[in-house]
Copies of this chain bind each other. A is one copy, B any other.
């Protein structure tokens, strides 16, 4: 293992004290111009880099923030992360990204790992399986700054950013109705998730507003959140095997939208027969066949806002007690099946 130059090394070489070198390097006002010059030059020469670990130990700050998402392969999250990074880097923070694969278990270990590694704060979008939030609550009460994005929870009072899931779902459902569809099924995500219920409400409200009969048998929950294709295909099969089968499906989750498209393709369904609309931030959703209308979330922007909130918490000199929840608009993209 290699050993980078330290302040001590420089001090020794230059016959100065470590403290002088330290001050010179940080351009301290007490140090003479001449000394600074000498120190800087030598530091340059030996390629001195301050050791952030030592700094962290001293300052109890790491200038890194932890990100916990269910799945990197989900475009929504990789877009959100890009947004987070864009701001974080600018402000001199490093990001540590971890994924949970929607496992509550991995979520807990990842979060603890991050907290122990002393990130200055945490950005998290909850896993589908999680119902016990105590590990987060404890950390939060201990003073770890946390901001939730997209998949938020009520149990912890802090900054949050989400999409207007209600309206997104409403608009998508409405678009199906306006296409003349009256028998609209719902493929939904794990019921623990905040977003699942909001989207369900939007769907229901649209049905009600347009006097479309609501049928409980048209609702299917895919509690594995589209991570398990079989689950989605089974749900689609069941829907299409109903005596009075739906003529449209609204899918309230990113990954499940993709799985539903795949299921319809496998089952050889004509998109004209079954119209679909769903949440999706996939960057190829416009190329899918069967095609679908889709609700897009402002993922990048959500990431940016989340990290700005977190930095506010981290950098605040006094404990923050006023928390805001931002709700971002969604965009509906209509696609006519060919």
Are the C-beta atoms of B289 and A262 separated by less than 8 Å?
no
Interface size on A, residues (CB 8 A): 52
Q: Among the listed B60, B75, B113, B284, which residue makes an inter-chain contact with A288, where contact means beta carbons less than 8 Å apart? A: B284
The smallest C-beta distance from A290 to any residue of chain B, in angstroms, reads 8
Q: Which of A24-32, A34-42, A45-53 contacts B (4 or more CB under 8 A)?
A: A45-53
List B contacts of A284 (CB < 8 A).
258, 261-262, 282, 284, 288
Binding site secondary structure of chain A:
mixed
List B contacts of A322 (CB < 8 A).
none
The smallest C-beta distance from A13 to any residue of chain B, in angstroms, reads 18
The smallest C-beta distance from A65 to any residue of chain B, in angstroms, reads 12
Q: Using an 8 Å CB-CB cutoff, how does the interface string of A77-95 with B read, 1 for contact, 0 for none?
A: 0110110010001000011
Q: Which of A96-104, A159-167, A168-176, A197-205 contacts B (4 or more CB under 8 A)?
A: A96-104
* A52, A73, A116, A265 interface centre (most CB from chain B within 10 Å): A73
List B contacts of A138 (CB < 8 A).
47
Q: Using an 8 Å CB-CB cutoff, how does the interface string of A116-150 with B read, 1 for contact, 0 for none?
A: 11100000000000000000001000111000000
Are the C-beta atoms of B52 and A116 separated by less than 8 Å?
yes
